[in-house]
Amino acid sequence: MNFQMDTSGQSGTISINEPVTIENVSEMKNVFLDAYKKTNQVNIQFESLADIDLNGLQLFCSAHRTFSKAQKILRIDLTNAPIFKKKAKIIGLIRHKGCHLEQSDNCLWRK
């Protein structure tokens, strides 16, 4: 996984091509923080996502919340990661409304 600023310099993209699990969530956190510091708009692009565990889902929740609080944008393209929502649903994360910490009204777990 890596983060790269886009050519426009206005946004950046995190590309993920490996499972997001307890084994690499610390590394993932650093990538998020790096992106957070460098730009106000981050796009997450999954080339593929073989698996994601609770730590992974939790980290995405935290990242989304952090960006929203700072009025920054974190866009996640789940086209190549159907397992993301599937796992979120199994573990009971999918909901009708976001939490009150969610400022942008686009909670990651909304239906």
Residues contributing to the site for another protein (CB under 8 A): 22, 25-26, 28-29, 32-33, 36, 53-55, 58-59, 61-63, 65-66, 69, 87, 90-93, 95-101, 109, 111
- Using CA atoms, how far apart are residues 74 and 43, in angstroms rounded to an integer? 6
Residue 72 beta carbon to another protein: minimum distance, rounded to whole angstroms:
11
**Among residues 54 and 73, whose Cβ is nearest to another protein?**
54
**Among residues 79 and 96, whose Cβ is nearest to another protein?**
96
Residue 36 beta carbon to another protein: minimum distance, rounded to whole angstroms:
7
What is the DSSP secondary-structure string of 33-93? Answer: HHHHHH-SEEEEEES--S-B-HHHHHHHHHHHHHHHHTT-EEEEE-TT-HHHHHHHHHTT-
Task: Return the bridge partners of 12, or none.
Answer: 5, 42
**Among residues 8 and 41, whose Cβ is nearest to another protein?**
41
**Among residues 11 and 21, whose Cβ is nearest to another protein?**
21
Residue 7 beta carbon to another protein: minimum distance, rounded to whole angstroms:
26
- Using CA atoms, how far apart are residues 18 and 8, in angstroms rounded to an integer? 27
